[in-house]
Structure 1
Amino acid sequence: MPARLIVVSNRIPSEATPSGGLVVALHEALREKGGIWIGAHPEVGSEEPALIDMGGTQYDKLAFRLTEEDREAYYLGFANSVLWPIAHHRTDLVEINRSFDEGYLRVNRRIAQQMAEVISPEDHIWIHDYHFFPLAEELRSLGVTNRIGFFLHIPFPNITDLDVLPDPPAFARWLAHYDLVGLQTRADVARCLEMFRADPRAEMLPDGAIKFGAQEVSVRSFPIGISAESFARAAQDCAPPPAHELFGDAYVIGVDRLDYSKGLPQRFRAFERYLESYDTGPRASLVQIAPPSRESVRAYQEITADLQQIAGQVNGRFGEVHWAPIRFLHRPVPRDEIAGLLRGARAALVTPLADGMNLVAKEYVAAQDPEDPGVLVLSRFAGAAEDMTEALLVNPHDVDETAAAIRRALTMPLEERQARHTACLKVVEATDTRIWARSFLNRLAACTPALRITGRAAEWLRDEEEGREFDPGAHRSISKEEV
């Protein structure tokens, strides 16, 4: 039987033709290769003993059900109130709660048990993002020896920030059970290798892989991209009316899921500084689309209130009867409509304080008319900045620098805009979703699985490493002699 692809991510697409960067990339990989997509069921409910068949014509879709307790502890708790702020350098926002890490491990263990029922020996498994760091270890403990790859879509944490975790040594051990760990940027790879070098359990091998006890893992950069051709087509088909009919002389655009890592308050203040300092320049509007997310988390409630307050202040100070400097849309906007708005914007502000990649930067470049392109203003702290060096790179904490970049973007000569766009577009095309997925999967297929200690022996060794008394009953009866 040919190897199937089994993808695990926090969500699975509900529609036949999905949208969104990660979802589109995985949809196309599965459509080409065939296999199973596993993700969370959209509805919270009672715990299910097996994965739920969600249908699917081009590949199977299976869902694990979260209980309300799981959602609070595993998803909102450990994943988004511990791991997310640690990865985005906001350890001040970490909420340590023993029920969070217990719930995180419990859900990953249950998903592994459910997956073990559908995995065939030839399958390649591709696990995505911070919700599932321990999943490979849990699968190994059940005897799964398949090639397992992991891709992290957010920044890799700094080594000092990892110490905030309730059990810091567990993090490196979780990653060591994968055959391949994919990260967004070369800087992320450097941070990951720094973590392993500092760990006495790890040994750096000549080929760059890491030996960790009986495990061996390879760490590589695979910068994710977009389907550039289809996004450019959508932008052309949905181009908005001329800017002056909607937004004054021109408009700059921001498109972000509402999150404290995106630097939105700093962006609003930088645009205010542009209005203060450059009153002889184009009368531009800032169109900020920021759909809500994780609204039950206090940090997200606070940033929403901050943005509404700043937008109201700026509009009250600079607005006119028929013109508002900031248009703040705190709701979802259809993807095609966003594509058209990106095409019409004279500049895009992609200014996160920390970001794994940021696909909006690539979508903006793909959406532009090459004969009259807009200008990308890009944070140095976005993963995209590592290769898109011809964007206007800024420090988002510096509102004066960002305001000056807005001014430069709005007044840049056509020839310079075209040259910068051409250079950025080459990066977008080189990291197309198909190229990204194929590159990762080819590398995973080339991995030679190490001699894995799996099943009950792996559980015993984990107890030994963590200094716990070995409990044969808890591990279905195994002796040290068997190990």
Structure 2
Amino acid sequence: MSRLIVVSNRVPLPAKNGAASAGGLAVALQSALAARGGLWLGWSGKICSDEPVGPLTTLKDGNIEYALTDLTDLDVEEYYQGFANRVLWPICHYRLDLAEYGRREMTGYFRVNQFFASRLLPLIQKDDVIWIHDYHLIPLAEELRRQGVKNRIGFFLHIPWPAPDVFLAMPVHDELLKSLTAYDVIGFQTRQDRENFAACLARQNIGERLGEEEFSAAGRTFIARPYPIGIETDEFAKLARQAGNTTLHKRMRQSLDGKDLIIGVDRLDYSKGITQRIDAFETFLTRHPDYQRKVTLLQITPKSRSEVPEYEAMQKTVAEQAGRVNGALGTVDWVPIRYVNRSLRRAALAGLYRMAKVALVTPLRDGMNLVAKEFVAAQDEDDPGVLLLSRFAGAAHELKEAMLVNPYDVEGTADVIARSLAMPREERQARWEGMMATVRENNVFTWCDTFLGDLAGNEAPEGVEQPRLKRVSR
């Protein structure tokens, strides 16, 4: 069986002291690497003030080798903070108004991808299968092909792929589109993302569509298809069930004093619709005053990319907005919004999801949004909460039983919050059962197996199955 190489911008190292891994994606990829034997390469998170960057830092953990590279100050400024997060991220999330394109940052983005290729090249063996992740590393396969790599290479985009009129506003759209045709398999979160990509290829006359999933360009054929990412469904459900006995869970129950809990969990990012969500919650309380003092919104929003000015400004805006609502509607013994600006452990989150009557998952645009799936997995089957989900999240393509909303429609979202809180138990159970079946079937290991099966192509001998993944015990 061939070795698997995973390449991502950052590498989640194995947890110490037997602690659980941080998230389902890391667990699935570590499982795939452990099953086949493999290598995971990416940025260490460390920044060098001077060039040249030193040798790779390597770490062996069982059947997996981790290879970490430092980057320079200039690399981080141009590649990561610049082009990746101030051009690609906003454009892929339909925020052309926030995209700040500069040739220097674009040059840095392609230069760092060349650097990643040079770091990876000496490590590649003849039969290795290479799986590259996300928007930071779109050109990496093309760089590897230039240097003679003929191995099968796949790419998965974790964020949305926008419609042609949005994507083609980026000055280097042709270069990025052509670089994607160097992959053998390109994965998207939804069918809509894949169709947007296909429309971009057609608009720019780059290659030819041979079938629903098969394309050709520059003498090569490749497939592009949706692979909706999932979670460790059963493991997360177990975490949620166990959380009821924790001190945090008991303290939270006591502090609510019988009030219903509404929960929102998001990174601090303009794509998540947090300000619109708070507006909708305030409108709900204003239009349904009987719920005042009977419900509390817990908004958990860890800081994100605080070195980027737009994110720093947003942190201030959200904090001020939550404070304004609390000042206008709160009383001495009731705070409408509890705003937490830090990360919580997965086990703690699982327990809070299970406690919540409603989850507000209302991004303005999202590739998938795994909070929605985690909330479903965490519920008590006898008395499940209600998932209120944005139509513009990738998860809405799968979780059709959720209460779907348009997050731009503040009043409409407020009305759905009221309907969700008043929903009879029988309807809540029926909706949850449909979503849970989907979340259980399309879990993160299915996602990983399906993509790697396509990437393997005809590699496996006839009659020999690719390994099914299981959680790596730590």
Query: What TM-score comes out, normalization by structure 2 length?
Result: 0.92
Structure 2 distance, partners of 1:241, 1:158, is 47
Structure 2 distance, partners of 1:269, 1:187, is 29
Matched, 1:289 2:262: no
Which of 171, 180, 188 is matched with 2:185 structurally? 180
**Map of 1:111 onto structure 2:** 116
Ranges in structure 1 where 5+ consecutive residues have no aligned partner: 449-483
Which of 212, 231, 234 is matched with 1:226 structurally? 231
- Does the Cα contact within 8 Å between 1:112 and 1:139 map onto a contact in 2? yes
Matches within 5 A, 1:47-58: 47-48=52-53, 50-58=55-63
Which of 38, 42, 45 is matched with 1:35 structurally? 38
Matching residue's letter, 1:327 = R
Alpha-carbon distance, 1:286 to partner:
0.5
**Map of 2:11 onto structure 1:** 12
Deviations 1:361-410 (A, max 9, x none): 00000000001100000000000000111000000011111111111111
Deviations 1:155-196 (A, max 9, x none): 012211222323221121011000000000011111011111
**Map of 2:320 onto structure 1:** 309
Matched, 1:336 2:339: no
Deviations 1:56-86 (A, max 9, x none): 2340000121111111000000100000001
- Does the Cα contact within 8 Å between 1:53 and 1:63 map onto a contact in 2? yes
Matched, 1:135 2:140: yes
Matched, 1:246 2:255: yes
Matching residue's letter, 1:37 = W
Matching residue's letter, 1:295 = S
- Does the Cα contact within 8 Å between 1:180 and 1:447 map onto a contact in 2? no
**Map of 1:278 onto structure 2:** 288
Alpha-carbon distance, 1:244 to partner:
5.6
**Map of 1:262 onto structure 2:** 272
Structure 2 distance, partners of 1:228, 1:168, is 37
Alpha-carbon distance, 1:255 to partner:
0.6
Structure 2 distance, partners of 1:43, 1:244, is 41
Ranges in structure 2 where 5+ consecutive residues have no aligned partner: 460-474
Deviations 1:440-464 (A, max 9, x none): 000111169xxxxxxxxxxxxxxxx
Structure 1 distance, partners of 2:212, 2:140, is 26
Structure 2 distance, partners of 1:52, 1:130, is 24
Matching residue's letter, 1:5 = L
Matched, 1:386 2:397: yes
**What is the RMSD computed on CA atoms of the aligned residues?**
1.5
SS in 2 for 1:66: strand
Matched, 1:59 2:59: no
- Does the Cα contact within 8 Å between 2:14 and 2:61 map onto a contact in 1? no
Which of 368, 383, 386 is matched with 2:379 structurally? 368
Alpha-carbon distance, 1:207 to partner:
6.2
SS in 1 for 2:263: strand
- Mark the CA change 1:284 to 1:11 in structure 2 (over 3 Å): closer, same or farther: same
- Does the Cα contact within 8 Å between 2:282 and 2:325 map onto a contact in 1? yes
Structure 2 distance, partners of 1:71, 1:25, is 28
Deviations 1:192-226 (A, max 9, x none): 11111222231111464111112222101000000
SS in 1 for 2:149: coil
Structure 1 distance, partners of 2:66, 2:406, is 42
**Map of 1:422 onto structure 2:** 433
Structure 1 distance, partners of 2:254, 2:217, is 61
Structure 1 distance, partners of 2:212, 2:281, is 48
Moved more, 413-422 or 275-284: 275-284
Matching residue's letter, 1:4 = R
SS in 2 for 1:241: helix
Percent of residue pairs bearing the same amino acid type: 45
Alpha-carbon distance, 1:354 to partner:
0.2
Structure 1 distance, partners of 2:256, 2:81, is 38
**Map of 2:464 onto structure 1:** none
Matches within 5 A, 1:85-164: 85-164=90-169
- Does the Cα contact within 8 Å between 2:53 and 2:72 map onto a contact in 1? no
Moved more, 132-141 or 247-256: 247-256
Matching residue's letter, 1:119 = I
Which of 446, 468, 473 is matched with 1:435 structurally? 446
Matched, 1:70 2:75: yes
**Map of 1:3 onto structure 2:** 2
Give aligned pairs, total: 447
**Map of 2:465 onto structure 1:** none
- Mark the CA change 1:319 to 1:4 in structure 2 (over 3 Å): closer, same or farther: same
SS in 1 for 2:60: coil
Query: What TM-score comes out, normalization by structure 1 length?
Result: 0.90
Deviations 1:76-101 (A, max 9, x none): 00100000001000011111111111
Structure 1 distance, partners of 2:85, 2:67, is 23
Alpha-carbon distance, 1:24 to partner:
2.4
Matched, 1:26 2:29: yes
Alpha-carbon distance, 1:20 to partner:
2.1
Alpha-carbon distance, 1:332 to partner:
1.4
SS in 1 for 2:118: helix
Matching residue's letter, 1:241 = K
- Does the Cα contact within 8 Å between 1:243 and 1:251 map onto a contact in 2? no
SS in 1 for 2:332: coil
Structure 2 distance, partners of 1:34, 1:326, is 47
- Does the Cα contact within 8 Å between 1:252 and 1:286 map onto a contact in 2? yes
Structure 1 distance, partners of 2:24, 2:297, is 24
SS in 2 for 1:218: strand
**Map of 1:470 onto structure 2:** none
Matching residue's letter, 2:123 = V
